[in-house]
Structure 1
Amino acid sequence: MNKLVFIVFPLFIASCMPTEKEYDEYYGSGFTNVNEIWWSLDHTASYPFTVSHGEISCSVHPKFGRKVYFMPDGYTDESYIGTPLNKSASDFLEQNSMHPNVPYRIKKSADLSEAIAIGLKVCDEQQEVLSNNV
């Protein structure tokens, strides 16, 4: 039985690891926490979201590019679809007939430029981490 575990376990681990091509196409995603109180210290635009805490996330898709979303606290696991902040995220959701399912959104007439810049920076940082580890 022990021999079987030593044979099967490494195969199981290897089958779950992404190939180099997968790293190139879907290099992962990252996020950064944001909140209304700290936002004003680091940004010139007003806090753009209707909830005081959340995260801005970014992931890359080979066809759509870098997708930036906002997810309120409590709605950040994989079962939720965040509010798209950039065109790539909106186009991806539209093409896949998906809609955000989080209860909080963007304030009316909000300037999203800084929030999008934060998300794109997250993508850049994640790409750098993965480039150094692959």
Structure 2
Amino acid sequence: MSSLIDPDEISHETELVWLEDIDNLDYVRQSLDRLPTRKGRPTYRRDGRLIGWANLAPTAKASRASGTFRRRVFWLLPHDRDSQPDGDYAKGAPSEAVDPRTLEPRVKGYKTERSQGGPPSAAMQELGIELPL
């Protein structure tokens, strides 16, 4: 879950790579995966589709036990809101989902009114403000 990502675990990130335009996505799922390399496209073994990933600095250390690196991977499942707007996540979002516009290297991202599927209040819309939840 996104809330369980510790800032220390993503402190070696240098960039986020996106395969899709994230401005069109209300949320992406994020996970911290064990991968054999510091950078590059990870092997994707989930249903759905890979949206992006984090690359790490050359100074990032591999796990002594497994020799792998912890890197964030961003993805969506076939039943997520972008594919099924009236489906399970028409309102609300999966626990590991965050608004992709709140993501940056070394920043875990946040849920927002947009990611949760709720309309912002009239005052918020008028001011053009979206607050993280």
**TM-score normalized by the length of structure 1:** 0.24
**Greater Cα radius of gyration, structure 1 or 2:** 1
Higher relative contact order (Cα pairs below 8 Å, separated by 6+ residues)? 2
Is the helix fraction higher in 1 or 2?
1
| Structure 2 length-normalised TM | 0.24
